[in-house]
């Protein structure tokens, strides 16, 4: 195994044993200490981030959306600090007895929430994930090993250094939050195969990253992140509301997984909706790739190819398709969606209930933007990612998703015959 990976896995396993026994007060104190450190050292973080941004400009990955994911400024650092305090304010799931029952033989049997142990997360150029993951795993009593993208290495180093110093200052194990600094692919593969050290691996990024982790991992994996998200405009939707939600879902932050990628429009509302919404989107820099019916209502767009319906752009690009009815919209979503976030804009209660029950996704919305699929927006403090699978958790992964259950059994001398 790669020397750095092996060393940090061993240290994390040892740290996890300490964390599992910490009180809620100790964990919350550590989160506040880290938050204060981020605020106090924000200029150092920004300087490290500038190094990453400069390297990005010289690379082949440079785009406005990619730069936005990488960027750390004072507002975002303050937001990370607030996120840590939000996590500290949440109820601690560790030690919660979820069920208790008595058997006829007198045994009292229950289930209690406990930390998972050591969690690794492999992610791309989103340095805020380092703090979100570190804060959540700490509160849930887990150690975490971070492996961020090479584009964010300087930013991640600066952030993790502050986290580790904050923990050490409180006489807690700094190894509870570790960063794999070697950006070579072999180091990442070794982390994926660190059975015996890792209890869970979370890939957070695009389809290629998630596919690579699934193909190579010998550690249990939770799939997160890929978001080919849809919004369906029903025939009776409020036009102004539909325009506002569509623009927000696409433009507010296009480089994230809960941004709108495909807009589906009922044929009866298309003549009133498309000529109004498309000029607004285009003026805001969005490239429209539409079906022939969309082009009929607004000719100045690019034709959509088959692959556009399954593409997560993470950029100012939007696929648009006119559909005959609700059934066609749902069938399209369930065929091309990634199980992330899907929305319907409608004034029909019946249609909203049908959409809710038949669309297969982690988060399903009625008359709201998909941009809300987020740990903070859901009141979870932050998130490790958006799980798009069904075991053992789904949707934004907050504190409870970072725990597991064990049985506790109280007896008075019973033996099994």
The answer to whether the CB of 233 falls within 8 A of the CB of 272 is no
* pLDDT tens-digit map of 256-267: 899 999 999 999
Q: Is residue 368 part of a domain?
A: yes
Exposed, middle or buried, 135 (CB in 10 Å: 0-12/13-18/19+)?
Answer: buried
Instruction: Please identify which residue in the block is written with the tokens 């507010």.
Output: 252
Q: Left (φ > 0), alpha (ψ -120 to 50) or beta: where does 68 sit?
A: alpha
Q: Say whether both 45 and 116 belong to one domain.
A: yes
**Same-domain pairing of 238 and 185:** no
Closest to 262 in 3D by CA, of 324, 209, 306: 306
Same domain for 79 and 191, yes or no, is yes
| 403 within 8 A of 93, measured Cβ to Cβ | yes
- Tell me which residues of the chain have a pLDDT lower than 70: 225
Q: Which domain holds residue 151?
A: 3-224+384-410
Contacts of 337 (CB under 8 A, 6+ apart): 228, 229, 230, 359, 360, 361
- Report the pLDDT value the prediction gives residue 367, as an integer from 0 to 100: 98
Q: Say if residue 214 is in the same domain as residue 258.
A: no
| pLDDT for position 190 | 96
- Using alpha carbons, select from 209, 260, 272 the residue that is nearest to residue 235: 272
In a domain, 415, yes or no: no
The CB density around residue 340, as the number of other CB atoms within 10 Å, is 25
Q: Tell whether 153 and 274 lie within a shared domain.
A: no
Q: Which of these, 46, 51, 74, 58, lies nearest to 154 by C-alpha position?
A: 51
Residues 344 and 309 in one domain: yes
pLDDT tens-place string over residues 38-64? 999 999 999 999 999 999 998 877 788
Beta strand 118-123 pairing with 229-233: unpaired
For the chain, first and last CA: distance in Å? 47
State the CB neighbour count (10 A cutoff) for residue 397: 24
CA 63 remoteness from chain centre: 21
- pTM to 2 decimal places: 0.89
Is 284 within a domain? yes
Within this chain, do residues 148 and 66 fall inside the same structural domain, yes or no? yes
CATH number, residue 120:
3.40.605.10
What's the pLDDT score for residue 276?
97
**What per-residue confidence (pLDDT) applies to 239?**
98
CB atoms within 10 A of CB 262: 26
- Per-residue pLDDT at 318: 98
How many domains is the chain partitioned into structurally?
2
Q: What integer pLDDT is reported at residue 125 of this predicted model?
A: 85
Q: Quick one: tokens of 30?
A: 């550590």
On whether both 18 and 161 belong to a single domain, the answer is yes
Contact 303, 292 (CB under 8 A): yes
Q: Does 247 map to a domain?
A: yes
Sheet order of strands, 260-266 included? 302-303, 287-290, 317-323, 260-266, 229-233, 341-345, 363-366
């Amino acid at each position: 195994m790669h020397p750095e990976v092996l060393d940090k896995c061993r240290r994390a396993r040892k740290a996890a044993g300490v964390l599992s026994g910490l009180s809620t007060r100790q964990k919350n104190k550590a989160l506040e200490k880290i938050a204060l450190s981020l605020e106090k050292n924000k200029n150092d973080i920004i300087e490290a981030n500038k190094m990453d941004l400069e390297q990005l400009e010289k690379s082949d990955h440079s785009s406005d959306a990619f730069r936005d994911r990488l960027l750390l400024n004072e507002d975002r650092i303050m937001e990370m600090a607030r996120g840590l305090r939000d996590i500290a304010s949440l109820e601690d799931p560790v030690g919660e007895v979820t069920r208790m029952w008595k058997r006829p033989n007198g045994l009292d049997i229950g289930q209690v929430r406990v930390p998972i142990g050591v969690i690794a997360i492999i992610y791309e150029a989103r340095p805020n994930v380092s703090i979100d993951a570190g804060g959540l795993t700490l509160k849930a009593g887990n150690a975490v090993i971070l492996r961020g993208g090479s584009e964010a290495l300087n930013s991640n180093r600066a952030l993790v250094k502050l986290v580790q110093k904050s923990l050490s200052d409180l006489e807690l194990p700094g190894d509870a939050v570790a960063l794999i600094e070697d950006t070579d692919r072999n180091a990442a593969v070794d982390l994926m195969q660190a059975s015996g050290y890792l209890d869970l691996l979370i890939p957070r990024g695009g389809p290629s990253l998630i596919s690579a982790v699934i193909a190579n991992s010998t550690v249990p994996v939770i799939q997160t992140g890929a978001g080919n998200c849809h919004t369906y405009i029903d025939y009776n939707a409020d036009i102004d509301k539909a325009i506002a939600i569509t623009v927000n879902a696409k433009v507010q932050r296009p480089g994230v997984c809960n941004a709108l990628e495909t807009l589906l429009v009922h044929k009866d509302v298309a003549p009133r909706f498309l000529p109004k919404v498309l000029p607004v989107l285009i003026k805001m820099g969005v490239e429209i790739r539409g079906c022939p019916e969309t082009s009929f209502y607004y000719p100045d767009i690019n034709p959509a190819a088959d692959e556009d319906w399954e593409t997560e752009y993470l950029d100012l690009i939007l696929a648009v398709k006119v559909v005959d009815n609700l059934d066609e919209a749902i069938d399209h979503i369930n065929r091309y969606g990634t199980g992330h976030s899907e929305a319907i804009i409608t004034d029909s209660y019946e249609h909203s209930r049908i959409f809710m029950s038949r669309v297969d996704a982690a988060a399903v919305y009625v008359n709201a933007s998909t941009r809300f699929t987020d740990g903070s927006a859901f009141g979870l403090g932050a998130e490790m990612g958006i799980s798009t699978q069904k075991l053992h958790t789904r949707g934004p992964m907050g504190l409870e998703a970072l725990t597991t259950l064990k049985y506790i059994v109280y007896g008075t001398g019973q033996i099994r015959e």
